């Protein structure tokens, strides 16, 4: 069975993990705010430059050339912004995933220890119940590992799809 010291140590570790994750979450929010501020500043400056350029246009063909010249940089900047935002999000997500996996593994070990302790102290004739409990714990552990693998695979597929879209955005913008 767990002692008071073990419970207190576990709670302390959980609080430290929570504080660390909260700090990481705030770092992610800070990075997103910084990204949005710099993107807004750049967009504001570019809007001013574009307005000046449009005011100096002398004919329709010059206006069309100016408009088509704006599309490619806009597509590239949008792709860069999206890529940066995605990197911030996946960085924060990986921190949370690592922490969750570590906590889950520790909780599984503690639970398995409790099962073992209960099995040693179980009354005679309860071997079948203990075996069923151990089997249930093993099945739950396998299910959790399968879910974690599926989430990792889905994340990898999403990242690959995002990279594919981002890499095709530039050539598509250049064709216009």
SS3 string, 106-121, reads HHHHHHHHHHHHHHHC
φ/ψ region of 125 (left if φ > 0, alpha if ψ in -120 to 50, else beta) reads left
Question: Which tokens go with 128?
Answer: 């079948």
What are the counts of helices (DSSP H) followed by strands (DSSP E) for the chain?
Answer: 3, 0
pLDDT tens for the chain, 176 residues long, are 557 787 788 778 777 877 777 888 888 888 888 988 998 898 888 888 888 888 888 888 888 888 878 777 877 888 788 888 888 887 777 777 777 777 767 776 776 776 677 677 767 777 777 777 777 767 777 776 777 677 677 767 777 776 776 676 556 555 55
């Amino acid at each position: 069975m767990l002692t008071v010291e073990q419970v207190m140590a576990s709670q302390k570790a959980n609080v430290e993990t929570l504080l660390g994750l909260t700090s990481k979450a705030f770092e992610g929010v800070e990075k997103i705010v910084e990204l949005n501020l710099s993107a807004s500043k750049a967009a504001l400056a570019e809007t001013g430059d574009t307005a000046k350029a449009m005011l100096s246009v002398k004919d329709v063909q010059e206006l069309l050339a100016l408009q088509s010249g704006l599309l490619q940089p806009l597509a590239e900047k949008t792709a860069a912004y999206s890529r940066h935002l995605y990197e911030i999000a996946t960085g924060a997500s990986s921190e949370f995933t690592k922490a969750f996996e570590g906590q889950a593994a520790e909780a599984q070990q503690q639970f398995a220890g409790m099962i073992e302790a209960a099995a040693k102290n179980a009354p005679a004739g309860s071997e079948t119940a203990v075996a069923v409990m151990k089997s249930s714990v093993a099945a739950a552990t396998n299910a959790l590992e399968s879910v974690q693998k599926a989430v990792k695979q889905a994340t990898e597929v999403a990242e690959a799809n995002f990279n594919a879209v981002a890499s095709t955005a530039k050539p598509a913008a250049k064709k216009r």
